[in-house]
Amino acid sequence: MTDTSTPRLQHFPIAWFAMIMGLGGLTLAWNRAESLLRLPVSLSPYLLVLTTLLFLALGVAYALKMIKYRAAVRMEWNHPVKMSFLPTFSIALIILSIGWLSVSAAASKWLWITGSVLHLVLTLHIISQWMHQTKFEIVHLNPAWFIPVVGNILVPIAGVQHAPVELSWFFFSIGIVFWPVLLAIIFYRVIFHGSLPERLLPTLFILIAPPAVGFLSYLRLTGEIDAFGLVLYFSGLFFTVLLIAQAPWFLRLKFFLSWWAYSFPLAAITLATLAMYHHAGTGLFLGLSGILLGITTAVIAGLFVRTAVAVARREICLQE
């Protein structure tokens, strides 16, 4: 039964900004495909405008929640699971900075500075919570824990143009060191402590993002694909194949806002494969790029429609 006893704004989650990550990733994928493959269509400018407008709308909604329902915001920021979604806001800013880089260098720089500084603050806050709080249990662990620290890997993609390269290496190093640490304990959790709750199962797709984005950032920092770069790319590709092979499990899930966890990782591996085609020039990566771009576009379009339906039916932003 739908709970209408409290205003929906009070239960407006920070995880909404995962939608911006997904749409922003799709924008970047189409932009890269249009230039690299000389596609006859040009969707990326429209996607960039749509993503930016949605970010502003969600930002206003969450700002109103912060003003009117401070207790609910504090509860969300201290929740052992929801806390990990706080940096979706700063990552959304970083992704927008990448998207706007070819349109306005000045706008991109301010988005990048704001997003990077905020993301570092959130990284320090959340790691400090992990180290000093006693509220965390193994059942709270899920792949969304990658978001706070591994999200730092995104910074160099636009950062190499906006700041000294050493700063980009700093952010890259944070994410790339924490990635295997969290990967190990996440697999320990799902193997020895039961499957994730249904609501959090889509977050398994986040396993794709760290190596895929790591590959893109490493390529941006070094300018070449070496052995380490190949390890990053192919581990991301393996996680993609592994999770797509489990599609029957995911297709049975009830709709949750967490479905947007499918979106950005798929966009990231699409971008990584386009980069592999650009550097290797082989038909294998060209065909794979087309397949992944089609899958990513279809998935995000479906997510967008399903989310709109859920909003119309008042199925989300409810008390849990």
- Domain assignment present for residue 55? The answer is yes
Mean pLDDT, range 193-217, rounded to an integer: 94
The rounded radius of gyration (Å) of the Cα atoms in the chain is: 19
Q: What is the pTM of this model?
A: 0.94
**Over 80: is that where the pLDDT of 81 sits?**
yes
What does the block give as tokens for 132? Answer: 């000093």
In a domain, 146, yes or no: yes
Per-residue model confidence (pLDDT) at position 287? 94
Helix (H) or strand (E) holding 6: none
CATH number at residue 101: 1.50.10.150
CA dist 173 → 7, 19, 30, 196, 226 (Å) = 42, 26, 28, 29, 17
The domain of 278 spans 8-312
Q: Would you say residue 319 lies in a domain?
A: no
CA distance 155 to 177: 15
Q: Using pLDDT thresholds of 50, 70 and 90, give the confidence band for residue 2.
A: very low
What is the Cβ-side half-sphere exposure of residue 298, based on CA atoms within 13 angstroms?
Answer: 6
pLDDT at residue 257 in the model: 87
Using one digit for the tens of pLDDT, what is the confidence trace for 26-74?
999 999 999 998 888 899 999 999 999 999 999 999 999 999 999 989 9
- Residue 149 placed within a domain: yes
pLDDT of residue 317: 66
* Residue 320, pLDDT score: 67
The answer to whether 76 touches 82, Cβ cutoff 8 Å, is: yes
Query: Does residue 317 sit within a domain?
Result: no
Query: Does residue 30 form part of some domain?
Result: yes
237 — pLDDT class (breaks 50, 70, 90)? very high
Is 318 part of a structural domain of the chain? no
- Mean per-residue pLDDT of the chain: 92
Count of the separate structural domains present in the chain:
1
Q: What is the pLDDT of residues 138-169, one digit of tens each?
A: 888 999 999 999 899 999 999 999 999 999 99
8-12, 103-107, 288-292: lowest mean pLDDT where?
8-12
CA distances from 1 to 52, 217, 314 (A): 34, 46, 11
In a domain, 203, yes or no: yes
